[in-house]
């Protein structure tokens, strides 16, 4: 049996790096001013598109406006029968917590829901997982 002898530590095994402590006496020495990089032509490119022209076709701004509304759902309130807003299922409002549907002639329609504070909100309420919503009046 032999006795273990640990190897000697010499300068090759480790090195000490000297660091200077920054002075906090003057912020100008510790902080550098930031300059905004300039925009060069190679940084971005603008692409020009021409609007197509079609003969005898009127222009429609997309997206925009309210989707097509359909008749078929009514409610009685404020002393009168009023039309409620039905739209295509693809045009239903998002983020309302669900989309109630009405089938008319085998075609599905979505009941358009809005927040209860919306100016087009009716007194007809629907409770969804996102809270209580109002059915929109057909305009």
Within the chain, how many helices (H) and strands (E) appear? 1, 8
Indicate whether 97 pLDDT > 90.
no
What pLDDT score was predicted for residue 98?
87
Best-predicted range by mean pLDDT among 12-16, 21-25, 63-67, 71-75?
71-75
Residue in the structure block whose two tokens are 């490119």: 45
The predicted structure's pLDDT at residue 63? 58
Contact predicate 99/91, CB 8 Å: no
Q: What is the pLDDT of residues 9-48, one digit of tens each?
A: 665 555 566 666 666 665 555 556 666 666 555 555 555 5
Residue 55 predicted with pLDDT over 70: no
Query: Could you tell me the CA-to-CA distances from 133 to 1, 14, 116 in Å, in that order?
Result: 87, 70, 6
């Amino acid at each position: 049996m032999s006795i273990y002898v640990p190897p000697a530590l010499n300068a090759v095994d480790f090195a000490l790096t000297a660091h200077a402590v920054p002075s906090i006496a003057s912020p100008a020495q510790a902080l550098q001013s930031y300059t905004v990089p300039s925009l060069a032509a190679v940084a971005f490119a603008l692409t020009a598109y021409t609007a197509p022209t079609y003969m005898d076709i009127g222009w429609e701004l997309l997206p925009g406006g309210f989707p097509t509304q359909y008749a078929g759902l009514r409610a009685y309130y404020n002393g009168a029968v009023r039309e409620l807003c039905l739209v295509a299922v693809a045009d239903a409002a998002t983020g309302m917590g669900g989309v109630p549907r009405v089938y008319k002639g085998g075609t599905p329609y979505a009941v358009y829901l809005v927040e209860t504070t919306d100016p087009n909100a009716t007194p007809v309420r629907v409770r969804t997982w996102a809270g209580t919503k109002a059915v929109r009046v057909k305009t």
